[in-house]
């Protein structure tokens, strides 16, 4: 009987193709949009992932990493005085305007590293070395800066110069970083030079990076730091998740992508349900003949569900494959953002199963209401 069900399904090639295409489009739309959404949220944590440190210390009012409330530089010494702190260094981060040789401007994310330890340095250097940051007026730019400057007719290479706050910045290295949600390139220099490149403020320390001693857990050190007035500490993972949650709850990104995913579900249900109903309707005389020969509703139910899930799994596989091909293509270009965790595959699979079940039930209702005697009419 099950083999007969598959022969009936494959025998109507037009409707089989329509069902597979509808579910493939549904799976593609849900997977692709969900992956872009996850990639976009991952971009919001680029600063945390580019500047690696076990513990981040910020002002107590800071809610996410792209929001800076400056601290006093004396706070570094206060953090260093904590018993469980192995080391603590200052770091500067802000959005600045770089003046190009032709007079145009480009926004950048200026990152100032501790000149002694260079904690938070780029992990992947394409050209030059991080130690060259100690040279006069030295900066390291990332691949996004190369792209942005090139669009404005400027080719950046080792030795190129531009201005920050009317001061010369000379490129001594090129690195590869995680792209940022803000869309601006990262420019690295030393902490003291970053202060020169930015307008003077009363408080200029952005964050404090720290590490616990070997005999202390990070949670213990964070609890001690949080007792200091005006400061709050996070682990690297906590700060990243806090940033993701902030963008999720305070922006319209989830609603925008959620509507598209919902439309994919609705389209899948509409196309699959209607087409499967027509498929069952046209094969109703065969189902009635089987009823007349003694086939019970249990057997017919197995046949209908086999047909529905055969189409569903085929459409799911094609949709996931197309979404993966899209992700591979865009990851080579670096944008748009794309990140496909296993949870997305499970979510898409669950929705496809739901669509298959609904479609099968629609067909079974029609079969249950059909009398076996119809085959003799």
- DSSP string across 180-225: PTT-PPEEEEEHHHHHHHS---S--B-EEEEEE-TTS-HHHHHHHH
192 in Cβ contact with 138 (< 8 Å): no
CB count in 10 Å sphere of residue 29: 21
**HSE (side-chain half, CA atoms, 13 Å) at 341:** 7
CA distance 160 to 157: 6
**Coil, strand or helix at 69:** coil
CA distance 252 to 97: 27
322 in Cβ contact with 28 (< 8 Å): yes
- What's the confidence (pLDDT) of residue 375? 47
- What's the confidence (pLDDT) of residue 307? 76
Tokens of 88: 């603590």
Going residue by residue through the chain, which has 377 residues, state the pLDDT in tens, using 9 for 90 and above: 556 666 666 666 777 787 788 888 888 888 888 898 898 899 999 999 999 899 999 999 999 998 888 899 899 999 999 988 999 999 999 999 999 888 889 999 999 999 889 999 998 999 989 999 999 999 999 999 998 888 888 888 898 999 998 899 999 999 999 888 888 999 999 999 999 998 888 888 999 999 999 888 999 999 999 998 889 999 999 999 999 999 988 888 888 888 888 887 777 777 766 776 666 666 666 665 656 565 566 677 777 778 778 888 888 999 999 999 988 888 777 778 889 889 999 998 888 888 888 777 777 766 666 655 554 45
Tokens of 47: 């600063």
Tokens of 177: 């970083």
163 in Cβ contact with 86 (< 8 Å): no
CA distance 227 to 357: 55
- What's the confidence (pLDDT) of residue 310? 84
CA distance 347 to 78: 47
- What's the confidence (pLDDT) of residue 1? 56
- What's the confidence (pLDDT) of residue 309? 81
8-state DSSP, 375: G
Between 342-368 and 13-43, two packed helices, what is the crossing angle to 10 degrees?
150
Give the residue among 279, 287, 296 at the shortest CA–CA distance from 375: 287
């Amino acid at each position: 009987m099950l083999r007969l069900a598959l022969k009936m399904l494959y025998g109507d090639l037009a409707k089989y193709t329509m069902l597979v295409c509808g579910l493939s489009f549904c799976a593609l739309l849900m997977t692709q949009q969900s992956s872009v959404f996850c990639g976009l949220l991952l971009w919001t944590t680029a600063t945390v992932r580019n500047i690696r440190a076990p513990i981040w210390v910020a002002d107590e009012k800071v809610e996410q990493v792209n929001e800076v409330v400056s601290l006093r530089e004396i706070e570094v010494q206060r953090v260093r005085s904590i018993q469980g702190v192995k080391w603590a260094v200052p770091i500067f981060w802000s959005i600045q305007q770089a003046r190009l040789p032709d007079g145009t401007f480009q926004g950048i994310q200026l990152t100032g590293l501790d000149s002694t330890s260079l904690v938070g340095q780029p992990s992947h250097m394409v050209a030059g070395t991080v130690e060259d940051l100690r040279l006069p007026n030295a900066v390291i730019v990332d691949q996004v800066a190369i792209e942005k400057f090139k669009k404005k007719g400027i080719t950046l290479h080792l030795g190129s110069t531009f201005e920050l706050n009317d001061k010369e910045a000379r490129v001594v290295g090129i690195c590869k970083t995680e792209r940022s949600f803000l869309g601006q390139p990262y420019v690295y220099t030393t902490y003291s030079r970053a202060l020169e490149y930015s307008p003077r403020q009363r408080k200029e320390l952005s964050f404090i990076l720290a590490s616990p001693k070997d005999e202390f857990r990070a949670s213990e050190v964070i609890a001690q730091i949080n007792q200091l007035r005006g400061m709050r500490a996070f682990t690297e993972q906590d700060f990243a998740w806090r940033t993701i949650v902030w963008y999720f709850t305070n922006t319209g990104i989830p609603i925008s992508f959620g509507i598209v995913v919902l439309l994919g579900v609705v389209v899948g249900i509409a196309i699959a349900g209607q087409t499967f109903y027509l498929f069952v309707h046209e094969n109703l005389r065969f189902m009635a003949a089987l009823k007349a020969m003694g086939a019970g509703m249990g057997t017919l139910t197995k046949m209908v569900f086999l047909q529905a899930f055969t189409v569903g799994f085929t459409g799911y596989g094609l949709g996931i494959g197309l979404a993966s091909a899209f992700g591979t293509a865009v990851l080579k270009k670096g944008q748009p953002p794309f990140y496909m965790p296993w949870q997305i595959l499970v979510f898409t699979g669950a929705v496809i199963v739901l669509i298959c079940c609904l479609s099968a039930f629609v067909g079974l209702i029609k079969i249950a209401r059909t009398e076996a005697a119809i085959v003799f009419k």
